[in-house]
Amino acid sequence: EEARRMRGLLFASVSHDLRSPLNAILGFSDLINDTQLSDSQKESLSVIKERAREFLTLIQTILDAARVEAGQLVLQRQTVNLDECVYDATRVVRRCSDESCAPIMTEINLAIPPLSLDRERMADAIAALLRHAVRTAERMVTIRADVTPSQREVIVDIEVPTHSTTAEEISKIIRSDGALSRFAGGLTLGLSLARSVVVLHGGDVQVIDSSWGIVVRVRLPLNGDSKQE
């Protein structure tokens, strides 16, 4: 328990120390972007900004994973339309994805009632699932959302056309305990953290096999009840 506590403190400290210079890099990149640049300079600056944003996301993921492990992650709930969270998530993923990543199509039922969510963390969780999806999909990724027939849950399905992985493999990563100790990359840690955030909202994440690939299914309660992992 002492080692776990010290590890959490280490990640929290290092994450804070890394975010400050990264924010400075991003800030000065924006200032430089407003000056007169050649095409090659603009391209180089774009790479710097994209990679810095990716690094900033990874740092936040590590910090949140440490908080989850220590039972210290607190949700800041508000009444949110689910399509707003999905929009935030897809915007981030599209901005950080390169040409080799699959495109994203959204089909969200706008009649879904507002949910009690931590908008930022839920958007980050969906983005983590989408980020893995677009990097493994062989063609367009589709994200759908609707209310179940029982009117008790909202289902968010991320359809990933791929034959390079199976539902069992992804499910093991998503449901892994002690994610920090078995950290094998930003995407891996992000998937585990995404499920933790969904579980804190009272939901869960399932991975289902399909003839054309896998479906990552996020289940969220309509009543907004939360629970701890």
Task: Specify the pLDDT at position 177.
Answer: 55
Angle between helices 39-69 and 82-96 in degrees, nearest 10: 130
pLDDT band of residue 65 (cuts 50, 70, 90) is confident
Predicted TM-score (pTM) of the model is 0.77
Q: Of 56 and 199, which is predicted with more confidence?
A: 199
The mean pLDDT of the chain is 84
Spatial contact of 44 and 63, defined as CB atoms under 8 Å apart: no
Task: Return the half-sphere exposure (C-beta side, CA atoms, 13 A cut-off) of residue 171.
Answer: 12
Write out the two tokens for 164: 């390079």
Pairing status of strand 141-147 against strand 204-210: unpaired
Alpha helix (H) residue ranges in the chain: 2-33, 39-69, 82-96, 119-136, 167-174, 186-200
Task: Specify the pLDDT at position 187.
Answer: 63
Spatial contact of 151 and 145, defined as CB atoms under 8 Å apart: no
Q: Of 97 and 160, which is predicted with more confidence?
A: 160
Question: Which of 178, 64, 176 shows the shortest CA–CA distance to 120?
Answer: 64
Task: Specify the pLDDT at position 155.
Answer: 96
Pairing status of strand 141-147 against strand 104-108: parallel
Task: Identify residue 181 by its one-letter amino acid code.
Answer: S
Task: Specify the pLDDT at position 224.
Answer: 52
- pLDDT tens readout for residues 75-86: 899 999 999 999
Task: Identify residue 40 by its one-letter amino acid code.
Answer: S
Task: Specify the pLDDT at position 105.
Answer: 94
Neighbours of 202 (CB within 10 A): 17
- pLDDT tens readout for residues 32-56: 988 888 989 988 988 888 888 878 8
Report the distance separating Cα 199 and Cα 194, nearest Å.
9
Question: Which of 159, 146, 55 shows the shortest CA–CA distance to 102?
Answer: 159
Spatial contact of 7 and 68, defined as CB atoms under 8 Å apart: no
**Region 94-101 average pLDDT:** 75
Report the distance separating Cα 141 and Cα 159, nearest Å.
6
Residue 20 clears pLDDT 70, i.e. is over it: yes
Angle between helices 2-33 and 39-69 in degrees, nearest 10: 160
- pLDDT tens readout for residues 128-187: 999 889 988 999 999 999 999 988 999 999 999 998 888 898 888 888 754 444 444 556
Residues sharing a CB contact under 8 Å with residue 201, sequence separation 6 or more, in sequence order: 75, 117, 118, 122, 220, 221, 224, 226
Spatial contact of 203 and 219, defined as CB atoms under 8 Å apart: yes
